[in-house]
């Protein structure tokens, strides 16, 4: 993975990272776009998207090395994770420094393309940037591999290549429900999605397609209230309480043996 940060050249970037915990009053705005390598969206198109939407985080799929010139145009901070043996891969751009360096996770491989995933820890929740395989069993297996690497509060965004529900326990499909891709310009499909756990999506939209064959999606995410916290954590808390009660009963039994 190439992770590059540069000083602000346009006023879009600031000196210090902004974490969701420091801006709890405003949801975190994320845009995700499959650029369509070589023949699709170029740097100029991405610059225009950033200027129009002003995201806190931009996730890209099928980003080639040339998309890295984005930082020369608008500053900010950029991380690229090319797919093994391919000219394109996943990329993240932020107007502020990443709170932590994005991690790259190797996914179960298909017969032709070997896939990876980018994971960014924002402190209060995690974000995964994905471009999954086309095989419907394989892409769900890749998704299960990804969610096992994420914190309790997390979202997975990108090009899922999944037809039908993803069926990932604990995660809700919180993104827009409109089609984002037209197969051979005929069959509309909702391939670009956002699944979240422990988060609320305050707003979402499908944006104009531009020169790519995918339409960008935008979501505004924020932590869910405790009442909507991930179920596994509430279950773990109850289990810990039961163990403590059992341990206390055992201690009392040892102190006060039957007469």
Per-residue pLDDT reduced to its tens digit, 204-235: 999 998 999 999 999 999 999 874 555 554 44
Question: CA-based Rg of the chain, rounded to a whole angstrom?
Answer: 21
pLDDT at 187: 80
pLDDT at 237: 46
- Ordered strands of the 57-64 beta sheet: 2-5, 77-82, 88-94, 57-64, 28-34, 217-223, 199-206
Percent of the chain with pLDDT over 70: 76
- 2-225: CATH superfamily: Endonuclease/exonuclease/phosphatase (3.60.10.10)
Output the pTM of the full model. Answer: 0.80
Task: Report d(CA 114, CA 161) in Å as an integer.
Answer: 15
Question: So where are the chain's domains?
Answer: 2-225, 229-259
Task: Report d(CA 22, CA 235) in Å as an integer.
Answer: 29
Average pLDDT, the chain: 85
Torsion 225-230-233-235 (CA) sign: positive
Question: What dihedral do alpha carbons 231, 108, 33, 121 form, nearest 10°?
Answer: 50
Task: Report d(CA 244, CA 90) in Å as an integer.
Answer: 45
Task: Report d(CA 252, CA 257) in Å as an integer.
Answer: 8
Per-residue pLDDT reduced to its tens digit, 12-53: 444 455 555 555 568 999 999 999 998 999 999 999 999 999
Residue 4 pLDDT grade (very low, low, confident, very high; cuts 50, 70, 90): very low
Per-residue pLDDT reduced to its tens digit, 94-118: 999 999 999 999 999 988 889 999 9
Tokens matching residue 108: 């179960």
Q: How far apart are the first and last CA of the chain?
A: 69
Per-residue pLDDT reduced to its tens digit, 171-187: 999 999 999 997 756 68
Average of per-residue pLDDT across 68-84 = 97
Q: What angle do CA 26, 200, 132 make, to 5 degrees?
A: 110
Residue 236 pLDDT grade (very low, low, confident, very high; cuts 50, 70, 90): very low
Q: What angle do CA 132, 150, 162 make, to 5 degrees?
A: 25
């Amino acid at each position: 993975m190439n992770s590059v940060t540069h000083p602000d050249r346009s006023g879009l970037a600031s000196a210090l990272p902004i974490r969701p915990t420091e801006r709890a009053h405003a949801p975190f705005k994320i845009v995700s776009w499959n650029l369509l390598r070589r023949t699709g969206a170029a740097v100029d198109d991405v610059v225009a998207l950033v200027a129009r939407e002003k995201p806190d985080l931009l996730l890209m799929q099928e980003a080639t090395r040339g998309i890295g010139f984005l930082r020369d145009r608008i500053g900010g901070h950029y991380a690229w994770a090319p797919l093994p043996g391919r000219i394109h891969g996943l990329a993240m751009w932020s107007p502020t420094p990443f709170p932590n360096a994005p991690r790259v996770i190797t996914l179960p491989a298909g017969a032709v393309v070997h896939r990876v995933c980018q994971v960014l820890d924002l402190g209060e929740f995690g974000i995964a940037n994905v471009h999954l395989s086309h095989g419907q069993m394989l892409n769900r297996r890749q998704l299960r591999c990804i969610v096992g690497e994420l914190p309790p509060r997390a979202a997975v965004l990108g090009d899922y290549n999944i037809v039908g529900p993803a069926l990932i326990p604990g995660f809700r499909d919180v993104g827009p429900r409109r089609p984002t891709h037209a197969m051979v310009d005929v069959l509309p499909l909702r391939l670009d999605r956002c699944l979240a756990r422990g988060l609320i999506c305050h707003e979402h939209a499908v944006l104009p397609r531009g020169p790519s064959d995918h339409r960008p999606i935008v979501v505004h995410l924020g932590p869910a209230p405790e009442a909507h916290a991930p179920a596994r954590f509430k279950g773990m808390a109850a289990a810990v309480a039961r163990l403590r009660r059992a341990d206390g009963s055992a201690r009392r039994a040892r102190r006060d043996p039957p007469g």
